[in-house]
Amino acid sequence: MATTLRLGLVCISELLRESEKLSAKTMTRALFLKEDRTTAIQKLSSRVLHNTVVIRRVLEHCHSLGIAHYRISDTLAPLVTEPNVNISLESLPDFDQIRENLASAGQYARRVGISLSSHPGQFNVLASYNPNVVDNTIRELNHISKIMDMLGCPQSYAAPMCLHLSVGPKENIETVEEYRHRFLKALHRCDTGVQHRLVLENEDKGYWNCDNLYRVFHQFSALVYDNLHDACNPSPDSCDWAILFKETWRHYTPVFHWSEGIDGSNRHTDYFSHMPRVVRDNPDVIWECEIKQKDRAIQQVLNYEKEKQSIKKDQTSTANLSVVR
């Protein structure tokens, strides 16, 4: 099991933050507008450049721990999709170095076998009833997809962009088929990279439990199974949703979410207390670990799996030796 369990780190390395004081930098709109524009742009550019260095270091760290997957942060380049700031990634003074660093990081990930993904924030709602929200969502998704392009990620489910639907069909106003059509119409306004990468996740509350998500979208998108969301927002029918969701990925390796809630809530624990059966029974899936202690928690799981494997190997060797004797 230790050689097949593939776990993914989500955005931040707690170990590197402690040992090397290494973490990404952000910038608020208020801080940007407080400076004169030239100074503000230079500071923003410097921070984005720093964040590309962080990505490479985190990937090296993942490889050293045996972490097989990394979810890049959707705040790698803050403010560049803010309509009121009016700046693009390409216009940053350090853009050439930013692009070079991203390309190098992506090459490294491919060389050592680390897959990449992204998870745009829940304020991105493609099926929103507010056209401004839809426009902003399309702008944000296109930006994140462009970052993945710079990393050299394939425009396919091999480098998925996971999205929450967030809102469901309005009762007595539209059918699920009309809702799906509205969502797909907005998706087709996105860049090709978004259309080919976008996957949908079951949610911890509201309409989009596993059952509804599968019923409405399984023929149109790969689906991401989240075990904690399934527990918090269960479907009325008992079903092995992980198996059904896996089938929607066709020949691509599914990327699912493993998390554990505090006292049955949707608030994540610091560490995993156990490995749920759905994770144990699906080693052919990449499991992104949504857990507060990030790589500390992943390292604990991987060390436990290695120890179990070692004990099993020792027991087998002892048994074989007794047979020979």
Least confident range of 187-201, 209-223, 295-309: 295-309
Task: Kindly list the structural domains of the chain, giving each domain's residue range(s) and its CATH number in brackets, ordered by start.
Answer: 119-263+275-291 (3.20.20.150)
Q: What average pLDDT does range 130-151 have in this prediction? A: 97
The string of DSSP codes covering 18-86 is HHS--------HHHHHHS-HHHHHHHHHHHHHHHHHHHHHHHHHHHHHT--EEEEPTTSSTTTT-TTT-
pLDDT reported for residue 102: 98
Structure token pair of residue 247: 């089938």
Is the pLDDT reported for residue 323 higher than 70? no
pLDDT digits (tens, 9 = 90+) for 209-251: 999 999 999 999 999 999 999 999 999 988 999 999 999 999 9
pLDDT reported for residue 312: 64
pLDDT reported for residue 315: 61
> Looking at this protein, which amino acid is placed at residue 315?
Q
Is the pLDDT reported for residue 78 higher than 70? yes
Is the pLDDT reported for residue 182 higher than 60? yes
| Residues 27-34: contacts with CB under 8 Å, at least 24 apart | 27/78, 27/79, 28/78, 29/79, 29/82, 29/84, 29/85, 32/79, 32/85, 33/85
Query: What is the band of 27 on the pLDDT scale with cuts at 50, 70, 90?
Result: very high
pLDDT reported for residue 313: 62
pTM score above 0.85: yes
Which residue matches tokens 């680390």?
114
Q: What average pLDDT does range 138-148 have in this prediction? A: 97
pLDDT reported for residue 238: 84
